Structure 1
């Protein structure tokens, strides 16, 4: 019955014929005017730039432009697949993105559940403020903090290592640690901010569910597994799908500020590679092909994850 009512309500907002479209739009003109800035943003910054992807199939010359540059088909995609440097950087990106999903994605969920268990309101608000604050720091500042903490001469971490009787470690100059540093700094900066969505979902849980479970003898751990986590599951699924869609889009500034000649072998990702090859070496067509590859892979993973999610949990983006 409710679905029929919803269908009737939606039908009321649809124009019944093409001839009445203008009348319909005029009737709801205020809504269309409010939507114009958002529509303009996506048109100007998202859709129109897609036309520039044509240079991935050209030997682009900035003086000749898109219209005058010769078309070369899939030449740059073939070069990309045969380039050992690209394949190594792709492997770096896949590993760092995988670590980010495994360790960074659950962090705000766990933190939100822990904050939700705090009963002293003042203390809870103080903790929330403290864990939110790193989000407002730029990656340049975050990298500076990391360099200071991990410094082999004056860093807090190495002072503890020396106190324990071991030799200091130059973390920022070792390929073995750079991936952990990148992912760990991301967890520190974003985990608190990511709790906002999950805390909002937790606020919508009916308190009577917890009261009923207490009467049945359930402890806090059992309540978390049986009530809290299932209530968070739809939000977790949506956020995970959004994360999967950006699997190869790790973020240029997040990585670039940590790179140096000593750790670049394991630290370089596709975003920093596009910057160096595209802007510094002026390989515009090749890096556009790399960007298209990232987008296609992200779309492919998103469609697959969305289909699996819809079948397994009933939750999906579309």
Structure 2
């Protein structure tokens, strides 16, 4: 049997008077310390889930729940702790349980008040605004986005799809750059989302826009994603590696970091004193590092890195001096 999802809203009791306030807060998942006395509340859940509206118990007061169904104007007042129906139940600890979203109209409203019996009369204190319970939905993105390849300066085509979800969804874009394993958020100034058209637009492409993209649509009930890649044609460039002389200790390991980028992906070749360097158990290089293990005097000299693709080429040169340990 499929387990029911449960949404719990805790209402703090207070004896101050109630004043209407704005559109109120939105809750979709387990929450605590939500003061319904000052803030109207909209609770969203998915079909088949339960909603539990709970208040703290006060010894000197009794709790009364009032419920409106749909657009009905009259309240159904629930006094008894053990009240049960096909749709609603009040448990022994004063929780109002809305049993399943499939068995009541969207827009059911509930609030609670306290009453105290005295010798003269019954004394009622209203303690909460209405909590409106609505049927929500997890975000969904429907659409097929093709991977794209374009030139620097061209406008990246709008990414249009059918985005849906209740309550309203938020859009977030992340990108994983070429050669990196971790994703990063795309600055919100680089894209915009139009709720009317369902399109995300980016503007003109630069070499730094290449990567694997994820558009995430989320609300408090869940998240959906759309993935695509952008390749921006560009000649190779090298960052972090300038003309320099490096000193390293004899028998030490030397790691030289840099970043080579471009599309199509550049072919990288390193040379030592004009001779091609071949990868081995002692020498390794890729688009981000050159690593030399257990340096010897024969490793001294001039190193040149060449990066080539169909759009151009670039080279960088450094020199390495191997010194005796302790004489750097």
Larger radius of gyration: 2
TM-score relative to the length of structure 2: 0.18
TM-score relative to the length of structure 1: 0.19
- Structure with more of its chain in strand, by fraction: 2
